[in-house]
Amino acid sequence: MKIGEIFATQVFNDAVMRERLPKKIYQSLKETTRLGAPLNQEIADVVAAAMKDWATGLGATHYSHWFQPLNNLSAGKHDSFISTTRDGNVVTEFSSSALVKGEPDASSFPSGGLRATFEARGYTTWDPTSPAFVRDGTLYIPTAFCSYTGEALDSKTPLLRSMQALNKQGLRLLRALGHNGSRMVYATVGAEQEYFLIDKEKYEKRLDLKLCGRTLLGAKPAKGQELEDHYCGRIRLRVASYMTELDNALWALGVTSKTKHNEAAPAQHELAPIFEPVNTAVDHNLLTMEVMRVTAKRHNLACLLHEKPFEGINGSGKHNNFSISTDDGLNFLDPGQHPEENKLFLITLCALIEGVDTYADLIRMTAASPSNDHRLGGYEAPPAIISIFLGEALTTMLSNITKGSTAGAHSCSNLYTDVDALPNLERDDSDRNRTSPFAFTNNKFEFRMVGSSQSIAFCNTVLDAVAADVFSRFADRLEKAEDLELEISHIISETICNHGRILYNGNNYTQQWVEEAQKRGLPIISNSAQAAEAIVNPRNVEMLESLGILSSTECHARYEIHLENIVKVITMEAETMQQMVRQQILPSLTRFIGDTAASYNELAGAGFENAQLHGLLEKLSGLLSAIHCESVALEALEHTDHAVFSLKELANYMTDTIRPQMHALRTACDAAEALVASDVWPIPTYTDLLHRI
Ligand code: ADP
Ligand code: MG
């Protein structure tokens, strides 16, 4: 299979548009897609007709306004191209208005109070900056989704607004620094996606995986990830054939799937694409998750995108690699050979240091979800504290500049292996720190807190916003500066002095860091219920509102959606757990104890009284009681009168009271699992799930 022959064959991309659209129309559309110029409505007719012809040529019978409601998924209804004629026949048709505008029911998606059930109207609007594509007989048109009253009900609209803000402030900054060639500034993003693959039949037998995406019960297996033999190890043939089909499907959709490998935990894998402008990176990541799930079914596998499907081994994240670029290929975060003299690089670095320190709580919130709570702060994932890793070389360089020295950062040392036959390599300026939540890696920052099941739209909206906010302040100063160099060195000194506390190059997984962070006054936000507050924090609301990214109403709606989601997810988990315990665990365990007791009596009757067996029976019957008690206690907590709580109190109650009780119930069940015969335990074990693929 030649990649070139399948790549983007299902995409209405630049090449297709150039071929199928009249030159003038093509150029006008190009101004919009490349440079964000306002869409010329007159071209929509021509584009719609060309899109329909192209899509039906690929077998499409339907089109769908593809949008991103606030549930980390994508959605859309499917309309066929048919239309009736007066003489009773049908023709295929796709008008400009069908391309540009759709009207899904807005009340059936999370709206945080923006839409009541009786106020159903919502609109989808074509986003010409992300290409349409054909999949399974449907033409998908990327769209933004808003309410009748104009508030954003999706994750794309604020992202597009944040791109405009960053473009505006980024261009100002460039001009102030004397770069006049670029016409457009935008964030570039490459999202590394982690996932688990398990056998479908075993998955089907676990209600927790099916309903909640994670195991709510399960004793520690004899082999987890202790031997470190899975990371980048040989890929199982079954998994390899899944990955091949996945790559082909993604390539056809124009997704630049680049790297695949086994991850640290057994049954865990990763896929990374080549980075691209943020809007398409977000759409492509959503598409990747969707294709991952569907492809797994065809291979009799289940793809788990949950942040923590299994306790005791690594969870899954989504490393969001982020930089800022221009249409003419400039990377703001490329240090170059002489970073100490690279004004754009230094200013961008300072802007992100100031921005990440100032809005740390908001950035933390973009990675907060009830499922990611189980992962963040675990030994394999960044802690719930935001800090920045720059590496020794850059940190020293910045500190030298504040002391008036221009000593370079680039040491350009070589790496010698002491084997003559091996080539000598140039060593990177800094080692890698994989424990930092926000790490500088070569020419980009890697935000590692985001969860594997989350859309990357919101974190990038906030990163765009934060950069735009500080860029605008720096641009104000630089535009007015009489001595540009001096002003830049002032900015660097002030940044290090006022925001240096956010820099940390050490091991973020240690308790020592938590204590250190506390001393530095960095926010430590340990769960998603606490993290929610950031989106209604007046400082953050003001910033988002002043940049035109989210209004105060939209921020408050998002706050409600976030809290409601916590309550719904934990409620569902508690109920699923209860159902498994009562319908599967307790009956099996009771039978096993009964059978074992009968065997014990039989043996004793025959004169073979067995003290060990008696001991086992005692333990098991103790656990049976414990499971009963913990389950009853959980039920009592679930049924406390919730009406007295505000939404915030309820989210905290679910997090701080229901969750620990679920943990207590799990502990008793897992202890029992470890003692009973394997053919008796009613659900697949961790060993079955992780090692029998
Ligand atoms: P790593 O060593 O972190 O694995 P890679 O070069 O493999 O580094 O990059 C990881 C991800 O970062 C990839 O998706 C890659 O395309 C992306 N990436 C690289 N450069 C940039 C950039 N300038 N902006 C955004 N993402 C980038
Ligand atoms: Mg990486």
Segment 121-129 shows an average pLDDT of 91
Which-ligand-closest: CA of 322? 1
Mutate-to-test residue for ligand 1 from 282, 284, 444, 459, highest number of ligand atoms within 8 A of CB: 444
Question: 331: Cβ below 6 Å to ligand 1?
Answer: yes
State the closest ligand 1 atom to the C-alpha of 273, by its place in the atom list counted from 1: 14
Question: Token match 């015969």: residue?
Answer: 677
Say whether pLDDT at 523 is over 60.
yes
Residue nearest to atom 8 of ligand 1 (CA): 441
- Give the Å distance between the CA of 190 and the centre of ligand 2: 9
Question: Token match 């959980």: residue?
Answer: 634
Question: 321: Cβ below 6 Å to ligand 1?
Answer: yes
Name the DSSP class of 69. B
- Give the Å distance between the CA of 28 and the centre of ligand 1: 32
State the closest ligand 1 atom to the C-alpha of 323, by its place in the atom list counted from 1: 24
Question: 275: Cβ below 6 Å to ligand 1?
Answer: yes
- The predicted structure's pLDDT at residue 235: 85
Tokens found for residue 561: 């959606």
- The predicted structure's pLDDT at residue 118: 58
Do 352 and 282 form a contact (C-beta atoms < 8 A)?
Answer: no
Listing DSSP states for 103-161 in one string gives --BGGGS--TTSS-TT--BEEEEE-TTS--EEETTEEEEEEEEEETTS-B-BSHHHHHH
Tokens found for residue 679: 């053919």
Mutate-to-test residue for ligand 1 from 188, 275, 284, 344, highest number of ligand atoms within 8 A of CB: 275
Q: How far apart are CA 501 and CA 358, in angstroms?
A: 11
- Give the Å distance between the CA of 281 and the centre of ligand 1: 12
Say whether pLDDT at 94 is over 90.
yes
The angle subtended at Cα 70 by Cα 369 and Cα 213, nearest 5°, is 45
Q: Quickly state the pLDDT bin for 116 (edges 50, 70, 90).
A: low
Segment 538-558 shows an average pLDDT of 97
Segment 123-144 shows an average pLDDT of 96
Question: 402: Cβ below 6 Å to ligand 1?
Answer: no
Say whether pLDDT at 547 is over 60.
yes
- The predicted structure's pLDDT at residue 277: 97
Q: Quickly state the pLDDT bin for 66 (edges 50, 70, 90).
A: very high
Say whether pLDDT at 120 is over 80.
no
Q: Quickly state the pLDDT bin for 226 (edges 50, 70, 90).
A: confident
- The predicted structure's pLDDT at residue 413: 63
Q: How far apart are CA 16 and CA 11, in angstroms?
A: 8
The whole-chain average pLDDT of the chain stands at 93
Residue 45 CA, distance from chain mean position: 36
Question: 472: Cβ below 6 Å to ligand 1?
Answer: no
Say whether pLDDT at 117 is over 70.
no
Segment 252-256 shows an average pLDDT of 98
Question: 273: Cβ below 6 Å to ligand 1?
Answer: yes
- Give the Å distance between the CA of 319 and the centre of ligand 2: 6
List pLDDT tens digits, range 564-609: 999 999 999 999 999 999 999 999 999 999 999 999 999 999 999 9
Tokens found for residue 134: 């054909």
List pLDDT tens digits, range 491-505: 999 999 999 999 999
Segment 254-259 shows an average pLDDT of 96
Q: Quickly state the pLDDT bin for 414 (edges 50, 70, 90).
A: low
Say whether pLDDT at 100 is over 80.
yes
- Give the Å distance between the CA of 49 and the centre of ligand 1: 37
Q: Quickly state the pLDDT bin for 434 (edges 50, 70, 90).
A: confident
Q: Quickly state the pLDDT bin for 438 (edges 50, 70, 90).
A: very high
Question: 81: Cβ below 6 Å to ligand 1?
Answer: no
Cβ neighbours for 313, distance < 8 A, ≥ 6 positions apart: 224, 225, 264, 265, 266, 268, 690
Which of 300, 13, 5 minimizes the C-alpha distance to 142? 13
Question: 274: Cβ below 6 Å to ligand 1?
Answer: yes
- Percent of the chain past pLDDT 70, that is, above it, reads 96
Say whether pLDDT at 685 is over 90.
yes
Question: Token match 């973009």: residue?
Answer: 366
Name the DSSP class of 560. H
Residue nearest to atom 14 of ligand 1 (CA): 190
Segment 616-620 shows an average pLDDT of 97
Which-ligand-closest: CA of 448? 2
Which segment of 76-85, 431-440, 481-490, 676-685 scores lowest on mean pLDDT?
Answer: 431-440
- The predicted structure's pLDDT at residue 323: 98
- The predicted structure's pLDDT at residue 105: 81
Which segment of 101-110, 199-208, 361-370, 527-536 scores lowest on mean pLDDT?
Answer: 101-110
Which of 247, 295, 310, 323 minimizes the C-alpha distance to 452? 310
Question: Token match 């002032």: residue?
Answer: 490
CA distances from 123 to 49, 129, 160, 523 (A): 22, 18, 16, 38
Cβ neighbours for 197, distance < 8 A, ≥ 6 positions apart: 239, 242, 267, 269, 296, 301, 302, 303, 304, 693
Ligand 2 ion local residues (Cβ < 5 A):
319
Tokens found for residue 489: 């060195």
Beta bridge partners of 540: none
Residue 297: CB atoms within 10 Å: 11
- Give the Å distance between the CA of 303 and the centre of ligand 1: 24
Segment 625-645 shows an average pLDDT of 94
Q: What share of the chain is helix, strand, coil (3-state, %, to 5)?
A: 50, 15, 35
Tokens found for residue 242: 């899944």
Q: How far apart are CA 197 and CA 302, in angstroms?
A: 6
- The predicted structure's pLDDT at residue 377: 75
Question: Token match 């939209």: residue?
Answer: 554
- The predicted structure's pLDDT at residue 39: 79
The angle subtended at Cα 353 by Cα 350 and Cα 359, nearest 5°, is 130
Instruction: Give the H/E segment covering residue 192.
Output: strand 185-199
- Give the Å distance between the CA of 192 and the centre of ligand 2: 7
Question: 257: Cβ below 6 Å to ligand 1?
Answer: no
Which segment of 122-131, 159-168, 540-549 scores lowest on mean pLDDT?
Answer: 122-131
Beta bridge partners of 276: 189
Mutate-to-test residue for ligand 1 from 320, 321, 323, highest number of ligand atoms within 8 A of CB: 321
Question: 277: Cβ below 6 Å to ligand 1?
Answer: no
Which-ligand-closest: CA of 463? 1
Say whether pLDDT at 216 is over 70.
yes
- The predicted structure's pLDDT at residue 228: 76
Cβ neighbours for 244, distance < 8 A, ≥ 6 positions apart: none
List pLDDT tens digits, range 9-32: 999 999 999 999 999 999 999 888
Pairing of strands 78-80, 62-66: antiparallel
Cβ neighbours for 505, distance < 8 A, ≥ 6 positions apart: 389, 390, 391, 392, 395, 433, 436
- Give the Å distance between the CA of 271 and the centre of ligand 2: 11
State phi, psi for 446 to the nearest 5 degrees.
-115, 110
The angle subtended at Cα 465 by Cα 463 and Cα 470, nearest 5°, is 100
Quick one: 668 exposed, middle or buried, by C-beta within 10 A (0-12, 13-18, 19+)? buried
Do 293 and 305 form a contact (C-beta atoms < 8 A)?
Answer: yes
- The predicted structure's pLDDT at residue 403: 85
Pairing of strands 257-262, 268-273: antiparallel
Residue nearest to atom 13 of ligand 1 (CA): 190
Do 423 and 513 form a contact (C-beta atoms < 8 A)?
Answer: no
User: 685 in the Ramachandran plot: left (φ > 0), alpha (ψ -120 to 50) or beta?
Assistant: beta
Sign of the C-alpha dihedral, residues 261, 264, 267, 271?
Answer: negative
- Give the Å distance between the CA of 425 and the centre of ligand 2: 20
Question: 415: Cβ below 6 Å to ligand 1?
Answer: no
List pLDDT tens digits, range 266-284: 999 999 999 999 999 999 9
- The predicted structure's pLDDT at residue 427: 67
pTM as predicted: 0.95
Question: 433: Cβ below 6 Å to ligand 1?
Answer: no
Q: How far apart are CA 645 and CA 35, in angstroms?
A: 49
Say whether pLDDT at 481 is over 60.
yes
Question: 439: Cβ below 6 Å to ligand 1?
Answer: no
- Percent of the chain past pLDDT 90, that is, above it, reads 81
Question: 225: Cβ below 6 Å to ligand 1?
Answer: no
Beta bridge partners of 190: 321
- The predicted structure's pLDDT at residue 430: 67
Q: Quickly state the pLDDT bin for 349 (edges 50, 70, 90).
A: very high
- The predicted structure's pLDDT at residue 570: 98
DSSP 3-state of 262? strand
